[in-house]
Structure 1
Amino acid sequence: MPLPEPTGPEVAKDPIILLAGASGYVGGRLLPLLERRPVVLRCLARNPDKLRPLVSESTQVVRGDVLDPSSLGEALRGVHTAYYLVHLMSGSKDFEKEDRQAATNFARAATAAGVRRIVYLGGLGDDADPDLSPHLRSRHEVGRILNGSGAETIEFRASLVIGTGSLSFDLVKSLTDRLPVMLCPRWLTTPTQPVAVDDVLAYLLAARDLPPGASRVFEIGSPDVTTYGGMIREYARQRGLRRWLVSVPVLTPYLSSLWLALVTPAAFEVGRHLIEGLKNPTVVRDATALGVFPVRPMGVREAIRKALTGSPT
């Protein structure tokens, strides 16, 4: 069904914003924040009936699937800024292929619709690393595909997102809650620069208000460089748990994923792909974002505290 044309004085002042990925962790938290902005918000959904009860009456929910290019043209009609927060890792064993196809479909549809700006959340990691995990490699590839759309693309690259409901953080949480003694693989000493979900949302919102310009990649993270072992220790400290981490260098990422499948609620395939990415350092090497955006990310200790106390965004 064609979308209704906006009417009234708001047509000239309220841009149309498309949110793809509203049912995901970050997208679901971004949705109510966008609804408070002076925009016409449109959400792309494979099953609109499931999403409609979660949005306000003024939010448009349109049927569309990033793997079905024929469903995207109408959804993107008249859109000024599109948020692309889609990641197909949880629903596909061949997620690299499907993420590539989905991004290609979306980029082509955005070009045809004349979308001005695409905002995308990807992952940190060094492109020059020959051992970059398939998960991080795919995140970077999606960014390049969207950048090729012709629309100005603002790509944020982040490490682990700290917040209840974030799959990566929930893996850390589940391990610490369930295992008093942990046999720790080498990847627990890999440097990482996680970021609080509230700060990710602040960056995403601020990207909409950037003046027009060239496509850019911004690396974002907390001011703290830590390790996954360090996050486990800090989480345990705040929860009042005594935990012992025993280093076992021979525990490979693949064996670690088998271990994680036994002690966490995460599906095996998703856990395996996430663990494969933990071997790669994910730190901010370019701090340009701090000079462009007014966001000042909180430290790891504060981010974990907020995740545990459920402090509102």
Structure 2
Amino acid sequence: MRVLVVGATGFIGQRLVRALNDAGHHVVAFSRSASEESFPEGVEPFDGDLGDPDSLSGLCEGVDAAYYLIHSLTADNFAELDREYARRFSEIASDDGVDRVVYLSGISGDEENLSPHLASRREVESVLAEGSYDLTVLRAAVIIGAESASFRILNDLTDRLPLMLVPKWVRTPCQPIGVRDAISYLVAVLEADETRGETYDIGGPSVWSYESLLKLTAREKGKRVFIVPVPVMTPALSSHWLRLTTDVQYAIARPLAESMRNPVTVDPELDLQTVVPIDQTPIEEAVREALVSA
């Protein structure tokens, strides 16, 4: 199968390209910095920019299925850009007869009072759904991996703040997933026709809070942290607090911090594990692997 990965040099994209290539697919890897040196042998690089229509000629020609992994969090107008890029991709994919598109989105709890980041993810889902292909949406919470921005924030905090006065969102429930499991689900849906046109949640085997994830990360590093939630610290204030406590680019950390107010656990009725079961990785193991690779 000829499979296009849009956003192929990102945290998820690089791993997905390798997994699809290992599975025997003909992979086209699209990014603004695509080159043969960036990917395994046999992968076809496609250097282009969704902000530059002239660079997209032939992007979806002969493509059977595509993964859409674009998020523009580093831009102040990320929601506008994500809307524009998703619409442009949807039109190209539809015109060229792409059969399936898979989009990696985010879990957002009760769908009320969404942060700008999660609201943008929902809007992209709606834009992509307008295409003539079958769309499959996978929604994840925190993805545990060495290059994950969310995990890097947790890792930085445990390094720098043995005593933390933290926002109350540290006790928000979440259901993280190890990056290996996220990739396994993404690859598996391609062979599962029943996932066409459907939306699923993906998560690990257990529910945590950001506080318990912080303590787990510290423990795996042989450290202890003392956490005191401060109810008066708003999402906006906490995003500025992160500017002082993590090396993650502020433009990325800010929307992620604002999203942490939303409970992000798997809805049992939308759980992909009931449709495409995999051997799920315990979060303790996923954190351990991420720390080794960091």
Q: Name the TM-score class by shorter chain.
A: over 0.9
Q: In the alignment, is the contact (CA less than 8 A) between 2:9 and 2:33 conserved in 1?
A: no
Letter in 2 for 1:78: G
| Partner residue, 2:232 | 250
Residue 110 (structure 1) aligns with: 93
Matches within 5 A, 1:95-244: 95-126=78-109, 128-129=111-112, 131-211=113-193, 214-244=196-226
Structure-1 residue corresponding to 2:49: 65
The AA in structure 1 aligned to 2:179 is V
Aligned position for 1:74? 58
Larger radius of gyration: 1
Cα distance, 1:95 vs structure 2: 0.2
Q: CA deviation at 1:103?
A: 0.4
Letter in 2 for 1:124: I
Unmatched 5+ stretches in structure 2: none
Q: Distance in 1 between the 2:207 and 2:40 partners?
A: 39
Question: Would you identify which runs of 4 or more consecutive aligned residues in structure 1 move more than 4 Å?
Answer: none
Deviations 1:35-75 (A, max 9, x none): 21222111112233xx3212234221123222233433401
TM value normalised by structure 2: 0.95
* Structure 1, unpaired ranges of 5+: 1-14
CA contact (8 A) 2:4 2:28 kept: yes
CA displacement 1:157-188 (0-9 Å, x = unmatched)? 00000111100000011001111100021100
| 3-state SS in 2 of match to 1:275 | helix
Describe the superposition over 1:71-118 as per-residue Cα deviations: whole angstroms up to 9, x where unpaired. Answer: 33401001001011111112x110000000000000111100000000
State the AA in 2 paired with 1:234. Answer: L
Cα distance between partner residues in 2 of 1:210 and 1:133: 32
Letter of the structure 2 residue corresponding to residue 308 of structure 1: L
Normalising by structure 1, we get a TM-score of 0.89
Query: Which whole-Å deviations, capped at 9, do the CAs of 1:189-209 have from their partners, x for residues lacking one?
Result: 111111100000000110111
Output one character per residue of 1:2-44: Cα deviation in whole Å (capped at 9) or x when no partner.
Answer: xxxxxxxxxxxxx211111111100011121222122211111
Q: Distance in 1 between matches of 2:41 and 2:227?
A: 50
Residue of structure 2 aligned with 1:266, choices 248, 251, 257: 248
**Cα drift, residue 254 of structure 1:** 1.4
What is the rounded CA distance, in whole Å, between the counterparts of 2:221 and 2:190 in structure 1? 37
Q: Flag the 1:288–1:270 CA change in 2: closer, same or farther, 3 A.
A: closer
Give the 3 Å change call, closer, same or farther, for CA 233–57 of structure 1 in structure 2. closer
Letter in 2 for 1:208: L
Once the two structures are overlaid, the 10-residue window that deviates more, 273-282 or 146-155, is 146-155
Equivalence for 2:22: 36
Amino acid at match of 1:302: E
User: Could you say if the C-alpha distance between residues 210 and 72 of structure 1 is closer, same or farther in structure 2, counting changes exceeding 3 Å?
Assistant: farther
Separation (CA, whole Å) in 1 of partners of 2:279 and 2:203: 10
Distance 1:171 1:213, change over 3 A: closer
Q: Distance in 2 between matches of 1:292 and 1:59?
A: 29
Once the two structures are TM-superposed, the CA of residue 127 in structure 1 deviates from its matched residue by 5.7
Q: Does 1:85 align with 2:54?
A: no
Cα distance in 1 for partners of 2:206, 2:194 equals 31
Please give the root-mean-square deviation of Cα atoms over the aligned residues, in Å.
1.7
Tell me the CA shift for residue 258 of structure 1: 1.3
Q: Which residue of 2 aligns with 1:292?
A: 275
The letter for the 1-side match of 2:260 is L
The superposition leaves residues 128-168 of structure 1 with CA deviations (integer Å, 9 ceiling, x where unpaired) of 31x11010111111112112112111110000001111000
Distance 1:144 1:184 in 2: 35
